[in-house]
Structure 1
């Protein structure tokens, strides 16, 4: 682009002209809206310039550089003696990893234009010295997270500290919209708006399917502008296809036989990101790539949220400088970070959602006018169909909708204590303020009074315990926290992110502490003993000892190793992508194989059609099988893992009302299996009544151990609401201790305070989040409109095979599972005829990498077994 002549005028136009850029229409629209004092939501393509649309608008309205800018040379840099402007802009980011990159982006115009503003960070990674400086004076622009913002609001002088604030920006709003972190931000915004009625608020997003709802949640319904940043930015989605495919696929071998092709793709680009869906998978792929190309040592890296901050910082800097050939990563690099050198993005396995795929694709070509490209790497045959479906869904922009939670009372309780710390509150005023937050717009007086009573004396059942008398009104009616101990514990517990207790991983060093590598969940380490090996941070490590919430390790030289597993690894298939998959299958059933992906998977689909049928947009496929194990039902609603779990339990319970039956259940994203050792006449039993939505809530609760599910969910609620304390630094409580403590509260409330609203919330969250009852009801309604296509099959079909493997995985060791899979595949391939893919000989190794090695028996020198301790 040619250099445009520098001109005087608005800062935004001037800075763009200085770089030879022409603003997009949406950027000018945002600049003008901010000048007019308007709030809104900017939805634009990743890498199109959303940050500068809002930031330069803020500078234009609030910054001052004197009387105009020079025509021919940049203004002199700001001198250290220049006193920066007071806090004017708050920039909320959902991830700490984005904060440093955002700070660099915001600083650039300030340096170029000589604006006397300072930019600061306030996250969980901010050091104590910087926090102390910010306590004395906040920077002109503060980049922070929802948790750190709430922590700032607990300052006694919070109102004075935020007195000069003029604008608030929420980056990557789609990442916060649908969870409790977004609710926490809504409440903080409500407080800031009451203090500063003229506050300008903007949200930024690239992947939202329900933008009007997102705008209403951020602002008030009917307020603010929705600006669409429509620019011509090419997004290319393709698939890395294997030469042949197995006709009987199963999830679990992680697609490592695609390794040579992945290495070849990495070789062809200057810098690549290799995305995996789980941290465990990223550890395996990093090690596999390094084993395949040892000469890339130091040129490839690993990045996920459990690694130490200095490791993540090193990787991010290497990406920005173009010093790394490839980085194997998880969602830790999904958002917003600007890595211009990245040319290629590879996605290992299914992305599970259209928005996630588009977000990851945007990490490449992260600049206006550059093509973003993502290559899908299927890990089994059915994911080839998902890849074909994903390309169509992306082209048609079928982006998933996200909805804000309704009235989570645990977040409200935490907020009440926070506001009592932040100068205190008067209940009648705070009630009006809280109802300005979208998620609490329908909060009624009874719920409000319950929340007040809960923070004042613990509610009906905890009145006798001083620890739960957290907030008290003073003589003037101002509610405050009187106890310094309660105040300290509360500030340490602010936030809604709850996970298993994590242990720090450090190298063992005699006479001192070694370098930290990151953290693993306690549940994983609890299964290991000293001397066992595991993969972490791209290294093979040997466990030395566990002490004071720290895992001490040495480098290991063996090959066999377990791989840490973190919670949240199994993401369900989104409705939009699932519908696209069913459309591909429906087209195949009609003889259409339009893409190279579908032509490659045609042999599998042909076997499925020969032995049974394919699902379609108008049919619900059911397969009935009698085997040595019993009577099987395979059903394929294509509604995602969570819905299928609820649906399988519901169908099993309703069938059990007709005759005494016990079922084994297996689910995946495509379907479900019900297996009974007792004879079941599925051909007669599959009636419309099984899929009826009447009494759905009652039947779902009856079909599951809902009480136990609610007990587990209550642990998170109890932590957020302040009932249980995770512990002080270096002395955190274990997951087992937290579960025991929260379980005790759960039992006490159920027995002595059954009307406790936190119990009700636990049940509601189980239904809404773990079982996705709303989507289950929608699925049942849709299934009622489809023709039930029942087939009595003689053997396991290609669609049924992965469901059987899911069930086997629960009861078999890795070696036995591998043996059984090999036998089954050989038998099925023989029955299907020529043309099948021959499984690798190292299938047992592949299974072991997924499930972890089976421990070798301990023996004495004479060969006799040594008993385990």
Structure 2
């Protein structure tokens, strides 16, 4: 069959469904059948699955014209997805095509949820089309004879590539593909990505920058004009001195009519604890939603999550309170409305969530934005603009993740073994390891065979044997088994499973939270009030309780920071703050940002806050950087406003306090949020000296940063993950996990050994690199300091706290006070400030 006839089959199938293929789908079919690799850029819900399943199937028909009588069994294509929840959807799409075209092809899934019986069947005979995750792909590479398994595989599709890029799971994919390019006879690699800022680079990372695949690659864009409408829920009454959490639940009554007027509503929260609280509070106030409302987040058990997903599809639920667990994939046609509670911290995440409503080509997406404090309305205004201008973040890829490389080399050694001279050129072709040197490669090989220089007397670190013919191989069955259990790069805080005393499984929570509970304590989880009884092994035993409680488990996701795109948009919106009324006398000229442009209704709603801010200080314009100082009974407050996001402020506040301490010895405590940071000290800091000595310079930034932060402590925490991924520390067998404090102490011991005896250890050095590049965003810090250096620094010596500084002060109090006491204290403070 020629290409035209093949595409005719696809067109006919679409016609039978009453559909018409989009231009981007046809373009993907054509390029795939021409033997090209590529990246498809298409929004969720636009039919991207059919854009790539079809050409895979058509290519099979082309190469096997007698497929009806002579079907060759074996793996023909692999579809990699970051989320297990997506695999069922993808399987249904593939089976629909295969069954309608009467092809003898089978479709299988292999993820962490696949039963051991099904895995055993797959070992005997692989399905023709396999849907899997990055971790399960590496498990296949860890099985003997994997070369035979993948030999006739003609296509690999990496779904949701924007989610994997910029993570170690993305590096896993790069390494897996580097091997399969050699093993498979005729392979086409395609990625699917929603919009990100650096699409060209995303394609390079997927295919390898200098490879033939990248030279022979295309970028297919789905130019579908998706209409996204953002509606802000603007409170009728707002505090002049805003603080985090003062709105949020106060707007519950504004949310309920939206839920009632929609078939199905998704309420997105940023954290699992926020999700639990909103679910509880809505049911408390509106018990009529019982049975019509559910909750969905990553720590709730799988059965409940699947039930919720199905209930959304068949429209039996009115509302679901969820976290990013429903950001991706899962195909929800009936969702009519999405509500975002609190700033989403990034444009891409917001657009992804908006796209959950009107999840069909050509349908409008409607998303409501609910601020949890007043200043978040500036974010709402910035997001409106991002949607209009289609401004989306870049995803920054990892470089030189040696822990992932050690894990991968051990995987190859566990299966058939590997020859370094064969594998080295493959690894050098990946984006992550394009800069790896011969010396580093030699170090890694030595590490596999002997453990590191300082550990070579301990046999437990010698996992791989170098055989006489030069092949590197794992011959110890125990080592191989432990390695297979630990394949993967997701290392969170240890999770403990939560069970009723009589055995029913509820979900999982982090060890950090449980370690602070005493028997009899009550906490909210999975929408229930649970009383803590005891911990047995890795299980938390609980019983239902009727006591009221404010305790909600906290998860690591609660520390999300602004993306660089979001920070820039926020500053630009702030510069458009409405000017004061002509009769108002203010202490400084109004800012002149965004001249000729009318402030948005969100900014107009904040006018009273801007006016109050100008009474005591200023609202900075594009060329101004604001510093405020004032005294309260807590001490001397020094507040800086870079508007750069929490991660950058954490680093900048440490850097600045270190540089100030060199001028005059002063101890201060630091607090930071997404808008600025505070230094609180027992005596005033000489801000004039800070300005005169140019303390915002980028010179010596890295060495000052290392001295300022407890960079050893931060790197030590990072090193725990590196030690687990590289296999130096074993996390335990299923159901018998090693406690996090034991993991922590094992990895700390190794960290100290390397620090004292082997500081050039590549994994030890990687811990510092990751701390600066990923946790503290050193690149963004440098750009922010350069920007501040070009601005006019305005230092305002205020008599009292300002509306801009108030959220920072109250956030610091939050650490010390319970919610009730905090609310009382804030009421008193506000009363004084409003006099």
**TM-score, normalised with respect to structure 2:** 0.94
2:328 match: 335
* Inter-partner Cα distance in structure 1 for 2:6 and 2:219: 30
Q: How does 1:509-548 map to 2 (within 5 A)?
A: 509=502, 514-548=503-537
Q: Could you say which residue in structure 2 is the equivalent of 1:120?
A: 108
- On the 8 A contact 1:213/1:403 being kept in 2, the answer is no
Q: Report what 2:358 is aligned to.
A: 365
Deviation at 1:638, TM superposition (A): 0.7
Q: Deviations over 1:190-240 (max 9, x none)?
A: 000011263101111112111011010011335211111101221111111
- C-alpha separation in 2, matches of 1:407 and 1:197: 29
Structure 1 residue corresponding to 2:755, chosen from 730, 747, 750: 750
Correspondence 1:378 to 2:371: yes
Aligned to 2:27: 29
> Aligned partners of 1:579, 1:39: CA distance in 2, in Å?
35
Corresponding residue for 2:176? 188
Is the CA contact 2:524–2:549 (under 8 Å) kept in the aligned structure 1? no
**Would the alpha carbon gap of residues 543 and 627 (structure 1) be closer, same or farther in structure 2, given more than 3 Å must change?**
closer
Conserved? CA contact 2:497–2:509, under 8 Å: yes
Distance of aligned partners of 1:8 and 1:178 in 2 relative to their CA distance in 1, 3 Å threshold = closer
Q: Using the TM superposition, give the Cα deviation of residue 360 of structure 1 relative to its aligned residue in structure 2, in angstroms.
A: 0.6
Give the 3-state SS of the residue equivalent to 1:827 in structure 2.
helix
CA 1:426/1:681 → structure 2, altered by over 3 Å: closer, same or farther?
A: same
Q: 1:680: which partner in 2? A: 685
- Hey, what does 2:580 align to over in structure 1? none
Q: Tell me the SS of whatever aligns to 2:737.
A: coil
Partner in structure 1 of residue 803 of structure 2: 798
Shift, 1:684, TM fit: 3.8
Paired residues of 2:719 and 2:747 also in contact (CA < 8 A):
yes
Helix, strand or coil at the partner of 1:686: helix
The 8 Å contact of residues 76 and 152 in structure 2, kept in 1 or not, is answered as yes
Residue 594 of structure 1, CA deviation: 2.5
Give the deviation of 1:561 after TM superposition: 4.0
Equivalent pair of 2:153/2:186 in contact (CA under 8 Å): no
Q: State the shift of 1:531 in Å.
A: 1.5
RMSD between aligned alpha carbons? 1.9
1:500-538 per-residue CA deviation (whole Å, 9 max, x = no partner) reads 1111111121xxxx2211111111111112211111111
Which whole-Å deviations, capped at 9, do the CAs of 1:781-834 have from their partners, x for residues lacking one?
A: 11112111221111101110111112222333444333321211111223xxxx
Measure the CA separation in 1 of the matches of 2:800 and 2:39: 54
2:242 is the counterpart of 1:249? yes
**Counterpart Cα distance in 1 of 2:65 and 2:114:** 36
Q: SS state of the match for residue 504, structure 2?
A: strand
- Asked if the contact 1:84–1:139 (Cα under 8 Å) also holds between the matched residues in 2, the reply is no
Matches within 5 A, 1:555-574: 555-574=544-563
* Aligned equivalents of 1:252, 1:9: Cα separation in 2: 55
Match of 1:93 in 2: 81
Displacement of 1:101: 1.9
Q: Which moved more, 1:427-436 or 1:59-68?
A: 59-68
CA contact (8 A) 2:154 2:185 kept: no
Match of 1:285 in 2: 278
Of residues 628-637 and 308-317 in structure 1, the stretch that sits farther from structure 2 once superposed is 628-637
Report the equivalent of 1:107.
Answer: 95
Deviations 1:412-459 (A, max 9, x none): 111110011121100111111111211001110111111111111111
After TM superposition, give the deviation of residue 688 of structure 1 in Å: 6.3
> Which residue in the other structure is 1:488 paired with?
481
Q: Is contact 2:6–2:58 with CA below 8 Å preserved after alignment?
A: no
The match for 1:202 is: 190
Please give the secondary structure, in 1, of the residue aligned with 2:666: coil
| Matched-pair contact (CA < 8 Å) for 1:238–1:375 | yes
Residue 9 of structure 1: how far off its partner (Å): 5.5
From the superposition, tell whether residues 463 and 67 of structure 1 become closer, same or farther in structure 2 (CA, over 3 Å): closer
Query: For 1:853-868, what aligned pairs fall within 5 Å after superposition?
Result: none
The structural deviation recorded for 1:64 is 6.8
> Partners in 2 of 1:738 and 1:241 — Cα distance?
47
Deviations 1:464-516 (A, max 9, x none): 1111111012232211101111101100011100011111111121xxxx221
Counterpart contact for 1:666–1:672, Cα < 8 Å: yes
C-alpha contact (below 8 Å) 1:541/1:555 kept by paired residues: yes
For residues 225 and 202 of structure 2, the distance between their equivalents in structure 1, rounded to whole angstroms, comes to: 24
Distance 1:197 1:623, change over 3 A: farther
Q: 1:403 aligns with which of 369, 375, 396?
A: 396
Asked if residue 691 in structure 1 is aligned to residue 696 in structure 2, the reply is: yes
Counterpart selection for 1:354 from 347, 351, 371: 347
Q: Report if aligned partners of 2:152, 2:185 keep a CA contact under 8 Å in 1.
A: no
SS for the counterpart of 1:691 is: coil
1:65 Cα deviation (Å)?
12
- Measure, in 1, the Cα distance between the counterparts of 2:117 and 2:730: 26
- Which position in structure 2 is the counterpart of 1:219? 207
Matches within 5 A, 1:705-744: 705-744=710-749
- 1:857 equivalent in structure 2: none
Distance in 2 (CA, whole Å) between partners of 1:681 and 1:597 is: 37
- Picking from 552, 559, 564, the partner of 2:541 is 552
CA distance in 1, matches of 2:201, 2:7: 36
1:26 Cα offset (Å): 1.0
Which runs of 5 or more structure 2 residues have no equivalent in the other structure? 578-590
CA distance in 1, matches of 2:621, 2:327: 33
**Which of the numbers 437, 445, 450 marks the counterpart of 2:430?**
437
Question: What's the TM-score once normalised by structure 1's chain length?
Answer: 0.91
Q: Which runs of 5+ in 1 are unaligned?
A: 1-6, 70-77, 831-869
How many corresponding residue pairs?
810
The structure-2 alpha-carbon separation of the partners of 1:526 and 1:8, relative to structure 1 and needing over 3 Å to count, comes to closer
Q: 3-state DSSP class of the match of 1:169?
A: strand
